[in-house]
Chain A
Amino acid sequence: MPNMYTSVGYEAYGEYDVFAKGQEAMAPAENTIARGHSLYAFPNSNEGYELAKADSTNPYETDYDAIRGKALYDIYCGICHGNQGKGNGYLVANEKILGVPSYDAREITVGSVYHVIYFGKNTMGSYANQLNEEERWQVSAYVMNLREALIQN
């Protein structure tokens, strides 16, 4: 009998027979885009990466907020790349993860950083499901700031 402790509606992370394997947590249906997101033009390949590097402009350029960018960067990227982007984050300093580059050692643009956050690159994974579109651009712009600071020093 339905009651108010456990309602008829499905709860997040529940197990219900209507879903495949009973698993409620699912990826979005194919060929759909969630509200507030838009299509990303560049494919997940070496060519897509080069195109993104050459072409893209930051659609959120005017909304850039360094404080937000830093907060998000420190959560998701700093643990490997270090909060200054020198490639010496906590996991790297303790030799848990190796081969994280310093941003000034790579020829990157805001578009290529976005591509890397979106799809990942080699051992670096994708961060597309932890950061939404606007947040990804905030972080990309912040990475370019860090890179500039590194080059100047």
Chain B
Amino acid sequence: MIHSLSLNLFRKSRTAGFLILTFLASSLWAQDADPAKGKSLFNTNCAACHQLDKKMTGPALRNVETRLSETEGLDRTWLYAWIRNSAGMIKSGDAYANKIYTEYNNSAMTAFPQLSDTELNDILAYTAQPKAAPVTQATSDVVGGGVPSTGGADNNQILLAGLALLFGLLAIGLFMVRKTLHRFAMANDIDLPVDKPKSTPIWIAFAQNQFLVLVTAIFFLLASGYFVYGFLMQIGIDQGYEPVQPIHYSHKIHAGENKIDCNYCHSSARVSKHSGIPSLNICMNCHKSIYEYNGPTTAEYTKDFYDNEIKKLYKAVGWDDANQVYTGKTQPVKWVRIHNLPDFAYFNHSQHVTVAGIECQTCHGPVEEMEIMSQYAPLTMGWCINCHRETNVKVTDNAYYDKIHDELSKKYGVEELTAAQMGGLECGKCHY
């Protein structure tokens, strides 16, 4: 009965038939296997090397069981044996085991003798599940960003138009009131003052008053001096500098949403003068597995946009994602340098990060919220000096400071020493 039903439906529409078939398949599993449990087993044990729909270290595993029984005539007992001890199967000379082993460049699959039959059934049930259609993704994209941002623009325009209208009405209203009053006065025979007595124009009066002229001149001199000074002080300060980078790498996504430690990538900040920009092999530690972006998106930054940026990374390191190999064709990524002190000033990261224990954010701002990296601090000498005056040196647990701390705290009569008192204002510390 069910059989004929499904056949009937199959004739009507392919998708319906497909649904029924998978329904049948999963109801078959339902007796002994739980795809949900299978999913978690798969994620902990197998996902390091396998994905359902994509070749990784090992083959894609969606519908392996059907695939292997159709193409190779292998049954579930073969799968049990392979998963529990693939190396043993290869040694025993099993034909297909050897074939697939050489096809994957002799990479060894881990043996899983600890997995029971039920657990393996769960895993296989999970691999037999149909692929989820990416419908929800599209809708969530729209909700994610498009609506609020355009809504914001509209709101502003409506507000402005409303204000303009209001002012227009007010102006007309005033004009009308004045006109009516005027007519009223005429009607009641009231004399309106028509001609004022002649007086000297205001600017001539002004020119004649020497004191006023002097005061204004001084005022203008001071003001322009102030602006010229301000302008000159801007030179060489690139606060807020935010260049377009060759790969749209987002600190918001990496350091913010995914909580990756700054030192993971900028690993030399702990130990050297420079923080360093990570070489691309560090990116590939994660991006061998993360080949697409599934986080939150906005109208400007869509999933397609981000996926394309990851492809740029693959192109630069020469990673062929489809075949999971490096091609050897690399192109260095030319990141645009943002922070740059003039060469006559010496700044060392490890002194501040490791010895003084200062957070990166104190100097670089809320990096974990920056979609595009920009320069937060002015990097002027005044900025360095101010902080040295205000920040205490971390002397606890640092044997290096024991002696000098005792001497200096006696000299200044304080318990806590600032970096300035320690010598952080001496020109030679930063200029040599």
A107-141 vs B, Cβ < 8 Å mask (1 yes, 0 no): 00000000000001011111101111000000000
Tell yes or no: B245 within 8 A of A by CB.
no
* Number of chain B residues whose Cβ lies closer than 8 Å to a Cβ of chain A: 41
| Alpha-carbon separation in the docked complex, A132 to B267 (Å) | 11
In chain B, positions 44-63 with a C-beta closer than 8 Å to chain A are 44-49, 56-57
Residues of A within 8 A of B57 (CB): 122-123
Structural contact, B343 and A7, CB atoms closer than 8 A: yes
A64-96 vs B, Cβ < 8 Å mask (1 yes, 0 no): 000000000011100100000001001100111
Structural contact, B258 and A94, CB atoms closer than 8 A: yes
- Chain A residue with Cβ nearest B267: A130
Tell yes or no: A11 within 8 A of B by CB.
yes
Question: CB < 8 Å: which of A4, A7, A13, A95 contacts B337?
Answer: A13
Contact A99 to B49, CB < 8 A, known contacts A79-B260, A122-B57: yes
Residues of A within 8 A of B273 (CB): 12
* Number of chain A residues whose Cβ lies closer than 8 Å to a Cβ of chain B: 40
Contact A5 to B344, CB < 8 A, known contacts A79-B260, A90-B258, A94-B258: yes
Shortest distance between the CB of B274 and any CB in chain A (Å): 5
Contact A25 to B281, CB < 8 A, known contacts A13-B337, A100-B48, A101-B48: no
Tell yes or no: A21 within 8 A of B by CB.
yes
* Chain B facing A: main interface SS: loop
List the interface of chain B (C-beta within 8 A of A): 43-49, 56-57, 107-108, 236, 258-261, 263-264, 267, 271, 273-274, 276-277, 279, 281-282, 284-286, 288-290, 294, 332, 334-335, 337, 342-344
| Alpha-carbon separation in the docked complex, A94 to B293 (Å) | 13
| Alpha-carbon separation in the docked complex, A87 to B43 (Å) | 11
| Alpha-carbon separation in the docked complex, A125 to B44 (Å) | 18
Q: How many A-B residue pairs have CB under 8 A?
A: 101
In chain A, positions 25-83 with a C-beta closer than 8 Å to chain B are 25, 46, 74-76, 79
Structural contact, A125 and B285, CB atoms closer than 8 A: yes
| Alpha-carbon separation in the docked complex, A44 to B343 (Å) | 41
Which 10 residue pairs spanning A and B have beta carbons closest together? A99-B48, A98-B47, A125-B285, A99-B47, A4-B344, A130-B267, A7-B343, A5-B342, A75-B261, A75-B263
| Alpha-carbon separation in the docked complex, A9 to B344 (Å) | 12
Residues of B within 8 A of A6 (CB): 342-343
Question: CB < 8 Å: which of A21, A95, A101, A131 contacts B332?
Answer: A21
- Chain A residue with Cβ nearest B285: A125
Residues of B within 8 A of A11 (CB): 343
Contact A74 to B343, CB < 8 A, known contacts A99-B43, A123-B56: no
- Chain A residue with Cβ nearest B333: A23
| Alpha-carbon separation in the docked complex, A9 to B290 (Å) | 39
Shortest distance between the CB of A101 and any CB in chain B (Å): 7
Tell yes or no: A149 within 8 A of B by CB.
no
Residues of B within 8 A of A15 (CB): 334
Shortest distance between the CB of B45 and any CB in chain A (Å): 7
10 pairs, A vs B, C-beta closer than 8 Å? A5-B343, A7-B344, A74-B261, A76-B261, A96-B258, A123-B289, A125-B282, A129-B279, A131-B267, A132-B271
Residues of B within 8 A of A23 (CB): 332
- Chain B residue with Cβ nearest A21: B332
Residues of B within 8 A of A120 (CB): 285
- Which of B107, B258, B285 is packed against the most chain A CB atoms within 10 Å? B285
Structural contact, B44 and A129, CB atoms closer than 8 A: no
